[in-house]
Chains A and B, each alone.
Chain A
Amino acid sequence: MMGLRRGGLIIATIGAVSLFIGAAWAHPPFCICKMANATTVSCEGGFADGTGVPGVRLDVIRYDESVVLQTKFGPDSTVSFKRPDGEFYMLFDAGPGQSFDVDYKDIQ
C-alpha cells in the first residue's frame, strides 16, 4: 500500500502536482503462469494497480542460466510458449526494480 500512502501524502503535500505523481505511484509487478494445455505455458503479467504490460520482456531461463527463450508480453499482457524440459524459471523484466521471477514449480 505504499502507493496509496504516498498518494495521500503527496496529495496533501504538493497538491496539484499529485496528478502527475499519481501516475508514478509505486505498484509492485506480478506474473502468474499456468499450463494452458499439456505442453504450453501461459503467463499473465501486470502491475498491482491494474496497469498492463504489453511489450515487456519475459525470459525463460534454465537453472544453469542458459536462456531458453526471450519473448514479450502481447497486447493483452499475456504470453504463451512451449514448456521446456528440466528446471527453469521465467523472468518478467521491466527494468531494475520491476522484475518478477516465477519458478517452474510455481506454474499452476
Chain B
Amino acid sequence: MSIAQFQAYGYFILIFLLVVVLYSYIYHLYTKKKDADGVDYESYSNMALKDDIDDTPVSAISEDKEK
C-alpha cells in the first residue's frame, strides 16, 4: 500500500469515527434526560439566571452543604 492510499484510508476512518462521536454526543445530550437519575441540560441555564448567593443550586454538590 502506498503512503497516499494509507493516508486516504486513515482519513476516511478518522472522519467516520468523528461523525460517530459527534452524533453519539448529541444522542447522549437528548437521552440523558430520560435516565433514572437523568438531567435536563436545559435546566442548567438557571445556574446563571438564579445566581444569588442564597438561591438554591440547580444541583447542589452535596445535601449537607445545601442551605
Q: Do A and B bind each other?
A: no
